[in-house]
Amino acid sequence: MTYPYQTSGGTDATMANVIPELWSATYLVKWHLETVFDKIVNTDYEGEFSKMGDVIHIRTIPSMTINTYYKGINDSTGQVTYQRPTTGNVDMLIDKGKYWAFSLQDLDLTQSSIELANTWATECKTQMHEAIETDLFETWYDDASVNNAGASAGAKSANINMGAVGAPRYINATNVDDFLTDVTLVLDEQNVPQNDRAIVVPKFVGKFIKMSDKFTADKTGESKGRLISGLIGEVDGLMVYASNNVDSEVDATVGVTVYNAFACHKKAVSFATQLEKNDVITDPYDFRELSRGLQVYGSKVTKAEGVVHAIIAKG
């Protein structure tokens, strides 16, 4: 296709000199993964550290001994036995950090019609959230209680299938309701409080939930526009989040991609972060500004019984 002032040999050089190049005053929109990690954890201990390498000591409530009382006499000594509770602690290490850094020539800042520094810094912060979530989702499920994972999960029943390496639990639109109620049962058997429960699953599970007859809006009582519109809501007491950041790998034994989905109570996982550095400095060796930011963070599964690990596959 030939455009005006363009010949078979290329653009007419004479006319090209008088046709201005036009640059838009706005950027092309960039789509990002939606992060959900901050919606499912607690940040109770944020603000209790000052720098990377700090350790936050979280006190734990001791388990108490309950004895049987007999009228007139108790144990062999005939006395009430008193327990001296000891308080332990769980340590959360602020041991991770991610940063951005970019340079801007002074001439670019002068000639550009766009706020380059602010626009790029905002983009860095968005990508920072994505990078942190990817890191967190690769580790949290490993700290689930042994009773909350595997083909024989269940602290009481030991017969709930949460999938295993070489034998994932296959999920489809027909059985997705069974899967979610089984996750709920695993948490129930650990006496996890009914409120503030959540599960993070890959996107295809969200699709199957919307396809399931059991979880359509008219049967769940959800207001119109939640499940039907594609926004995952509360299912069997679980706030369901579908994410592309769920950790996955190819299981060589079965030859399929498996996903490390996980559920948790909000108080079972703690997270703390702060922007330790966010500054702009002048390059002493060039005419440019250097922008940089350092985000430090740490997380800890503080209640392993409140975390469920499910190895699932699309089936």
Confidence of residue 4 (pLDDT cuts 50, 70, 90): very low
- pLDDT-based confidence at 122, cuts 50/70/90? confident
The pLDDT value given to residue 22: 42
Cα separations in angstroms, 246 against 85, 215, 251, 265, 311: 40, 22, 15, 17, 11
Q: Are 214 and 246 in contact (CB under 8 A)?
A: no
Higher pLDDT, 238 or 22: 238
**pLDDT, average across residues 120-140:** 88
pLDDT tens per residue across span 82-110: 888 887 888 888 889 999 888 887 766 65
Rounded to two decimals, the pTM is: 0.77
The Cα 99–Cα 277 span in angstroms is: 9
pLDDT at position 27 is 42
d(CA 300, CA 308): 15
pLDDT of residue 255 exceeding 90 = yes
Instruction: Give the span between the Cα atoms of 122 and 171, in whole angstroms.
Output: 38
What is the mean pLDDT of the segment spanning 41-66?
Answer: 83
Mean pLDDT of 220-236: 55
Q: Is the pLDDT of residue 116 over 80?
A: no
* Strand blocks (E) in the chain: 6-7, 10-11, 55-59, 89-93, 96-105, 169-171, 197-201, 234-235, 238-242, 248-251, 256-265, 269-282, 288-301, 307-314
How much is the pLDDT for 174?
92
Which of residues 28 and 229 earns the better pLDDT score?
A: 28
Q: How far apart are CA 28 and CA 204, in angstroms?
A: 28
Phi-psi domain of 228 (left: phi exceeds 0; alpha: psi -120 through 50; beta: other): alpha
Burial level of 259, CB count in 10 A (0-12/13-18/19+)?
A: buried
Residue 104, SS3 per DSSP? strand
Ordered domains of the chain (ranges, CATH): 28-315 (3.90.1690)
CA distance 133 to 131: 6
Whole-number pLDDT of residue 77: 61
Name, in order, each residue with C-beta under 8 angstroms of 5's C-beta and a sequence gap of 6 or more: 11, 12, 15, 16, 19
3-state secondary structure of 52: coil
Q: Who contacts 77 (Cβ-Cβ below 8 Å, separation ≥6)?
A: none
Q: What mean pLDDT is predicted for residues 298-304?
A: 93
Write the Ramachandran bin of 126: left for phi over 0, alpha for psi from -120 to 50, otherwise beta: alpha
Query: What pLDDT is attached to residue 3?
Result: 47
Query: What is the residue type of 45?
Result: Y
Q: How many CA atoms lie within 13 A of 284 on its CB side?
A: 0
Sign for the pseudo-dihedral over CA of 32, 33, 36, 38: negative
Task: Kindly report the average pLDDT of the chain as a whole number.
Answer: 81
Measured distance CA(265)–CA(271) in Å, rounded: 13
